[in-house]
Structure 1
Amino acid sequence: MTIGESDSSAITGIQADLKTFSALGCFGSSVITSVNAQNTQDIVLRHPVPIAFIKSQIEAVLEDIHPITVKIGRLTDPDTVIAIAETLKKYPGLTIIVQPEAIDRFGKSTVSPAAVVAIRERLFPLAKLITITIDEALLFSAHECAEQQADLRTVAFAMLKITDCVLISNMVSQGHHLHSILATKDGYEKVFNQTNVITNNMNGVACTLASAIAAYAAKGLPITEAVPKAIEYVLAKAMPAS
């Protein structure tokens, strides 16, 4: 199941998640938190879904379809974050993957400061994995890591002070290199260095990666195996060399 915003361009959000679930052989259900007029450049207009209806969507799916994993995308409002967290707590045993999308690909913050606090305090404790960019990690671990120390490993260990498992990626093709690190509180650490990546297709990559991880986790893979499989999928499907 995916919880997040509807993107009318179908490049990010709920649409990207459902397409990824289907491509990887999983049945995907959805909970829509906002209906967006959106294209490849910007969100033109956002129409938030009432909180009571968001809760009803979650309950309707979980009480009938019984998804194994839940992928949570961008949530811009703190009250929505709190309501989702409190509703999910009623259904123990879910594998929850949080991809907050707090900073867009242009470096602009997409969530309110109050929502950042709510995500950190209410959603992160429920997550089996948090998958974020390095800029987002700096946002959520502001008190633990100074910006001048913003290498992936340093930021990953700062994030492990507030969560048990994190995947941090630069998500920007810098010199055609893409770098990620998966780290857990119990000492597991794996670095992914992808070279010779030539693409203009960065939009939606973070959504696709998170939903691919959720799909592989739903198939029974542990997070430490689901992440490399998802990275391989994204490189092969979402970011073909041009």
Structure 2
Amino acid sequence: MTKYISVLTIAGSDSGGGAGIQADLKTFSALGCFGTSAITAITVQNTLGVSGIHSIPPDIVAGQIRAVMDDIQPSAIKIGMIHSPELALAIAETLKSYPDLPVVLDPVMVATSGDRLIESETIAILKEQLFPLVSLVTPNLDEAAILANIPLHNLSDMHKAADIILQTGCNAVLVKGGHLAGRELFDVYKDQQNNVQIISSQYIDTENTHGTGCTLSAAIAAYLARGEKLGTAIDKASQYIHTAIAAGQHVQTGKGHGPLNHFFAPEKLITHEME
């Protein structure tokens, strides 16, 4: 008997379809994985911005996680938007029942449009309760600045922020530098074993970057579920997202920041032998 390689996303819903749960499920599918979800919030959102957020009750979110984990048993987890401290606590407590799975946490705080997506008191709970449970944290420049409480203007600042974020107890951090000016972009990876990796890519001139962070973390989780080591998963996910941006750079979807082309080269669903 075989089963699909499955991944769970714990994140918010984007009614515009470019980020959040929708981007995660597209990414999982494109990379040959069966996607499952626990929705944390419903956003009123399109390519122009976010105009409303409705949080899902923490017990319902925890119930979604347990329903998927205890039945389908995903091989990796991606966490995205967590809007309230109560929700962060509920997710942390629930994940303690599944300690051996790789977890990628994208600390969604600011949307591509600039809209703030998280309550201030939630940040401390994330750092204290969730970060020590996860395999990788993937903040962008704005989020890393909030987490490290320092401004980020260059590659040196990204290194400093990564060091500060590691002090929360997370296993590893990937500071994404996509918002820095320049033709060449850099992401900084650091972990508790003093490994350092700089991932570079060429800047693509496009407005279609909505959901980039969600997609990257989802792709890393998908590759981890497929059995890749963390460093390899990050490299492959970075290549996937760069190509997805390039494939969608001239397509107009809405009047603002459009989505990536997640399905530029979709893979068939992968199966493996059941244990």
Distance (whole Å) between structure 1 residues aligned to residue 193 and residue 27 of structure 2:
30
Over the aligned positions, Cα root-mean-square deviation in angstroms equals 1.8
- 1:181 aligned residue: 188
Equivalent positions of 1:10-25 (< 5 A) are 10-25=17-32
Alignment of 1:198 with 2:198, yes or no, is no
Distance (whole Å) between structure 2 residues aligned to residue 84 and residue 183 of structure 1:
25
- 1:154 aligned residue: 160
- 1:94 aligned residue: 101
Distance (whole Å) between structure 2 residues aligned to residue 85 and residue 215 of structure 1:
21
- The aligned amino acid for 2:161 is V
Distance (whole Å) between structure 1 residues aligned to residue 183 and residue 210 of structure 2:
16
Distance (whole Å) between structure 2 residues aligned to residue 3 and residue 35 of structure 1:
12
SS at match of 1:132: coil
Distance (whole Å) between structure 2 residues aligned to residue 26 and residue 165 of structure 1:
24
Residues 135-189 of structure 1, C-alpha deviation per residue, up to 9 Å, x if partnerless? 21121122xx466786222211222222220001122262343211111121111
Alignment of 1:111 with 2:106, yes or no, is no
- State whether residues 55 and 83 of structure 2, in contact with CA within 8 Å, keep that contact through their aligned partners in structure 1: no
Structure 1-normalised TM-score?
0.93
Distance (whole Å) between structure 2 residues aligned to residue 189 and residue 80 of structure 1:
32
**Deviates further, 170-179 or 87-96:** 170-179
Cα offset, 1:235, TM superposition: 0.5
Identical-residue share of aligned pairs (%): 36
**Deviates further, 46-55 or 224-233:** 46-55
The one of 203, 207, 223 equivalent to 2:230 is 223
- 1:6 aligned residue: 13
Alignment of 1:133 with 2:152, yes or no, is no
**Deviates further, 145-154 or 83-92:** 145-154
Distance (whole Å) between structure 1 residues aligned to residue 63 and residue 122 of structure 2:
21
- 1:54 aligned residue: 61
CA 1:185 to 1:41, structure 2 compared with 1: closer, same or farther past 3 Å? same
Distance (whole Å) between structure 1 residues aligned to residue 39 and residue 223 of structure 2:
22
- 2:253 aligned residue: none
Query: Between Structure 1 and Structure 2, how many residues are aligned?
Result: 240
Give ranges in structure 2 of 5+ residues lacking alignment.
Answer: 1-7, 251-275
- 2:219 aligned residue: 212
Distance (whole Å) between structure 2 residues aligned to residue 173 and residue 152 of structure 1:
10
SS at match of 2:138: strand
- State whether residues 208 and 238 of structure 1, in contact with CA within 8 Å, keep that contact through their aligned partners in structure 2: no
- 2:255 aligned residue: none
Alignment of 1:232 with 2:223, yes or no, is no
Alignment of 1:29 with 2:36, yes or no, is yes
Distance (whole Å) between structure 2 residues aligned to residue 44 and residue 134 of structure 1:
23
**Which of structures 1 and 2 has the larger relative contact order (alpha carbons within 8 angstroms, sep 6+)?**
2
Structure 2-normalised TM-score?
0.82
The one of 131, 147, 163 equivalent to 1:124 is 131
- 2:48 aligned residue: 41
Residues 2-22 of structure 1, C-alpha deviation per residue, up to 9 Å, x if partnerless? 001111111000000000000
**Deviates further, 100-109 or 126-135:** 100-109
- The aligned amino acid for 1:161 is Q
- State whether residues 213 and 230 of structure 1, in contact with CA within 8 Å, keep that contact through their aligned partners in structure 2: yes
